[in-house]
Amino acid sequence: MFKLESLILLLSIALPAAALAQSPEQKGLEIAQAARAYDKGFTDFTANMVMTLKNKSGQTSRRLIRIRTLEVEGDGDKSLSIFDEPADVKGTKMLTYSHGLEPDDQWLYLPALKKVKRISSRNKSGPFMGSTFAFEDLGSQEVEKYTYRYLRNEPCGEMNCYVMERYPAYKFSGYTRQVVWLDTEGYRVVRVEYYDRKKSLLKTLIASDFQQYLGRYWRPRLMDMVNHQTGKSTLLEWKDYEFKTGLTDRDFRSQTLKRIK
């Protein structure tokens, strides 16, 4: 026991020196781990999302989606999306159990058929509801889903940001890499650039108007995703965030999808 403690002591003295010599990959991973650790313990949240799709000629169309998310110890989050608009998809629900590198489990409830359908989560790079957000952009961001490379620190608005690259480690991503700006204090992801399979810039996400919940967890009110190749964009407005609402596993069962309101 005494030996272990002295080993830890030794390491804690040696670590700062090691940090000086750490590689950009190690530093990137450490930032990602710290960001994930910072966000841990939110337990669950509910929120409403207004999604406005805009095409090249400026025409817009709107979706209303309610989100419920449950933090899962030792695995990815469970998440439920309930569609309220457009009216023809009203009552459609999507349930996702995300799992780091393993494929997610996903179910869809189709109100016209009154059918719960297990669907393939293979479609990571596909557009979510016709928007410029892909399924993989909205999924639970586990540390092991990427490998990382720290680039630099630089000011971002009034904050100071880490800038790092991340490379998808999961199968079937639509991206070769992403460049992420996240602030050094609350790990707010303020900007992400997405590079497609041909390594050219595909999309930019800008998140803004961050609010802090439970004195800790930061969430943006606005997320704007521009596709540079198609000229389309999608604005997500997050409303009515509530944390620790008492959701449990029982609220995220595939067979309850039909009844959930």
Q: Rule CB under 8 A: which residues touch another protein?
A: 53, 55, 61-62, 85-91, 103, 105, 113-116, 118-120, 122-123, 125-127, 129-131, 171-172, 174, 250, 253-256, 259, 261
Q: Of 32 and 225, which CB lies nearer to another protein in the complex structure?
A: 225
Whole-angstrom distance, CA of residue 96 vs CA of residue 253: 10
Of 47 and 163, the one with the shorter C-beta distance to another protein is 47
Q: Exposed e or buried b for every residue in 223-253, given b needs 16+ CB within 10 A?
A: bbbbbbeeebbbbbebeeeebeeebeeebbe
Closest distance to another protein from the beta carbon of 130 (Å)? 4
Based on CB atoms, which residue is closest to another protein, 4 or 113?
Answer: 113
- In the complex, least distance from residue 7 CB atom to another protein, rounded to whole angstroms: 40
Q: Which helix (H) or strand (E) holds 67?
A: strand 60-70
Least distance CB 106 / another protein (angstroms):
9
**How are beta strands 60-70 and 217-227 bridged, if at all?**
unpaired
Q: In terms of CB distance, is 69 or 234 closer to another protein? A: 234
Provide the terminal-to-terminal Cα distance of the chain, rounded to the nearest Å.
55
Secondary element (H or E) of residue 163: strand 159-168
- For the bound state, the minimum distance from the C-beta of residue 209 to another protein, rounded and expressed in Å, comes to 25
CA 253 to chain centroid, in Å, comes to 21
SS3 content of the chain, % helix, strand, coil (to 5): 20, 45, 35
Spatial distance between the Cα atoms of 252 and 103, rounded to a whole number of angstroms: 18
**Shortest distance, CB of residue 134 to another protein, whole angstroms?**
9
Q: Which is nearer to another protein, 152 or 250 (CB)?
A: 250
Q: Which is nearer to another protein, 161 or 235 (CB)?
A: 235
Nearer to another protein, 25 or 196 (CB): 196
No. of helices (H) and no. of strands (E), the chain: 3, 13
Q: Is there a contact between 84 and 67 (Cβ–Cβ < 8 Å)?
A: no
User: In the structure encoding, which two tokens stand for residue 208, read together?
Assistant: 């803004």
In angstroms, give the least distance from the CB of 140 to another protein: 19
CB of 154 to another protein, least distance (A): 33
